[in-house]
Structure formats: C-alpha cells, structure tokens
Amino acid sequence: MGRLTTFINEKIEKREIEEALRSTDVKVGAEWEFKFDNNYFDDIVHEYLVQDKLDAWENDMVDRSEMYDQEHDEWKDKHKEWEDEKNHMLNDVFYDEATEEIIKKLGRDDDIDNEVNELVQDKLDAWEAENPEPDEPEQPDDYLDTWDRSRGSVDDIVTFSKREDTLIDYMESKPDLKKYTGSGWEIHDDASISEGLGIELVSHLWK
C-alpha cells in the first residue's frame, strides 16, 4: 500500500475524490456500513430462546442452579454469623478466661503469654467442636450462572456469521449486487454503529 499523504473524511466532495485519484501516493477503496433491524432476526431469536429454555427446564438445570444460588446465599449469612461469633469468643472471652486461669494456676501475671496462647487454642478447638463451621453447598455440575439464565438478547444470539450469511444471501439475490460477492470484497463485523447488529462491506483497492 502506498504512503498515506492525504486523509479523506467520510463526508467528502467530488473534488476531493478527483484529487485523491490523481495522486500517486494514495490507495483508494470504500466501505459501506449497515445496521440490521432487530426484527429481521425475530425467527432466529425465537427459535433459539424457545429451544434453549425448553432444554434447560427439561433437564432441571435452571431449577438446580437457582436452588444452589439460594442455598449459597443462606450459607454466606450463616458463615458470617459463625465467623463473628468465633471472633467474639476468641477476642472477648477466651483470652480473658485463659489469662485469669493461668495467673491463678501459676501465681504470677508476667511471662505467661505462651501458656495463655496454648489455653486459648484449647478453648477455641473445644468451641469449634461444638460449633462446627457451616458447610458450603456444592455447586451442581450443570450449574447455569445468572448470565446464562438470562440469555436471549439479539446481541448474544445473532452472531457475526449469521449477519454475514444474511448479507451475502441478500446480495446474491440481486443481479446488480451478486457480482460483488467473492470478488475481492470483504465483509467485516462493525461494532461502531451497533454492537451485535452492525456489519460492513469493504471493497478491494481500486487504485
């Protein structure tokens, strides 16, 4: 490709095109941008949604996933309560009790950190034996996260390949456009005009 010495805006005049064509430093091509109407793909979206949701419900995947989410939320609440109670017993109860017991046993209140810590650990172990940590629920193997359970937007369903095939089919059905398919022209995704619905037709270099 030649050196780009002149920038031509999308909004150009005939004079600018003629100047570019006379230049030996400019390669000229073009692209056409399209945005598909959502309604154009209603059949695809409907078929996808009905079958996908039906399969999910028939296999109880959605039910199991939602039940797991509920159980996991309940577990998080219980686990937080357990952690709070554990920290309270450790910091507000066991150290005071252990310190008092060790001083009474040894008859002194200095150099008793090791003994206090050992007794605190014993008390903590005994407490945890009576108050076991809540078990986290196991996630189902076929778990669907909330994103998968809410699938269904046109952007998710109408892939670039579907848009590309749609444009090619349309062009091949028109005699005056058919010649541009498979002849150096390229089709690209274009999110600049519409995420999930945009597409562009790009020419080969004309000069």
Q: How far apart are CA 59 and CA 49, in angstroms?
A: 15
Most confident of 51-55, 88-92, 181-185: 88-92
In the predicted structure, residue 122 carries a pLDDT above the cut 70: yes
Calculate mean pLDDT across residues 93-103.
Answer: 94
Share of the chain above pLDDT 90, in %: 33
Q: Which whole number is the average pLDDT over 118-128?
A: 96
Q: Which residue has the higher pLDDT, 91 or 191?
A: 91
- Torsion angle, alpha carbons of 170, 171, 173, 175, to 10: 160
Mean pLDDT of 90-103: 94
pTM for the predicted model, two decimal places: 0.47
- Six token digits for residue 206: 């004309």
The DSSP output letter for 194 is -
What's CA 25's distance to the chain center, in Å? 44
Least confident among 104-113, 132-141, 153-162: 153-162
Q: Above pLDDT 70, what percent of the chain?
A: 71
Mean pLDDT in residue range 180-194: 74
Q: What pLDDT does residue 6 have?
A: 44
Burial 91-127 (b: 16+ CB within 10 A, else e): eeebbeebbeebeeeeeeeeebeebbeebbeebeeee
- Tens of pLDDT, residue by residue over 167-176, are 888 888 888 8
**How far apart are the two ends of the chain, measured CA to CA in Å?**
10
